[in-house]
A and B are shown apart, each in its own frame.
Chain A
Amino acid sequence: MRMKRPFIMLLAAGLLAGSLAACSSSNDPSSSDTSENANTPVKLTYWNTNGPGLDGLIKQYQEENKNITLDVQIDEANHKQNLLTALSAGSGAPDIVILTVDDIPQFKKEDYFYNLKDFGADALQKDYLDSRWKQGTSADGSFIFGIPTDSGPMAMMYRTQLFEQAGLPTDREEVSKLAATWDDYFKLGETIKEKTGKPLTTDAFFGAFLPKIQQGGEFTFFDKDGNLTMDTNPAVKEAWDFSAKLAQVGLTAQQPDFSNDWKVGLDTGDFATMFAPPWMLGLVKQNAPNAKGKWDIAMMPGGSANWGGSFLLIPKQSKHAKEAYAFIKWILAPEQQLSVYESNGNFPSTPGVYKDEGFTSKKDNFFNGAPVGEIYPKAAEQVTLMDSINNWSAITNEIGQQLPNVEKGADPERTWTELVSKVKSTLAR
Chain B
Amino acid sequence: MRNKTGRSIVYVLLLLFVGFSVFPFYWMSVISTRTAGEISAIPPKVFYGSRLAENFDKIFNNENVDFLRTMGNTAIIAISITVSMLLLSSLAGFAFARLNFTGKGFMLLFVLGTLMIPAQLGIIPQYLIITKLQWLNDYRAVIVPGMVSAFGVFFMRQYIEASVPNELVEAGRIDGCRNLQLYALIAVPTIAPAYATLGILTFMGAWNDYLWPSIVMKSNEMLTVQVALLRLDTSSYFQDKSLVMAASVMATLPLFLIFLFFNRQFIAGVTDGAVKG
Contacts and interface: CB of A to CB of B under 8 A. Distances in A.
The reply, when asked whether chain A contacts chain B directly with Cβ atoms under 8 A, is: yes
Nearest to A344: B235
Contact of A283 (B220, B231, B234, B237): B237
Interface in B221-244: 227, 230-231, 233-240
A405 interface: no
A91 B41 CA distance: 46
Nearest to A82: B215
B119 interface: no
A16 B131 CA distance: 11
Contacts of A289: 35, 37
Interface residues of B, number: 35
Interface stretch (B5-13, B122-130, B191-199): B122-130
Interface of A is mostly: helix
Contacts, number: 108
Interface string A292-332: 00000000000000001000000000000000000000000
B235 A71 contact: no
> Can you list the 7 inter-chain pairs with the closest CB atoms, starting with the nearest?
A51-B237, A289-B37, A91-B131, A74-B231, A286-B36, A50-B234, A73-B218
B61 interface: no
Contacts of A92: 127, 131, 136, 218
B65 to A, nearest CB: 9
Task: Determine the interface band of chain A, counting residues with CB < 8 A from chain B.
Answer: 35 or more
Contacts of A287: 36-37, 40
24 contacts: A9-B133, A9-B144, A12-B133, A51-B235, A55-B63, A55-B234, A73-B218, A75-B214, A75-B230, A85-B124, A85-B127, A86-B127, A88-B124, A89-B124, A89-B127, A90-B131, A258-B238, A267-B41, A283-B236, A283-B238, A286-B35, A289-B37, A290-B37, A344-B235
A263 interface: yes
Contact of B40 (A45, A75, A76, A260): A260
Interface string A264-279: 1001000000000001
Contacts of B166: none
Interface string B29-41: 0000001110011
B236 to A, nearest CB: 5
Contacts of A263: 37, 40
Given A76-B230, A279-B237, 20 more contacts: A9-B129, A9-B133, A12-B132, A48-B234, A50-B233, A50-B234, A50-B235, A51-B236, A55-B234, A71-B220, A72-B64, A72-B220, A73-B218, A77-B214, A78-B215, A92-B131, A286-B238, A286-B240, A287-B37, A287-B40
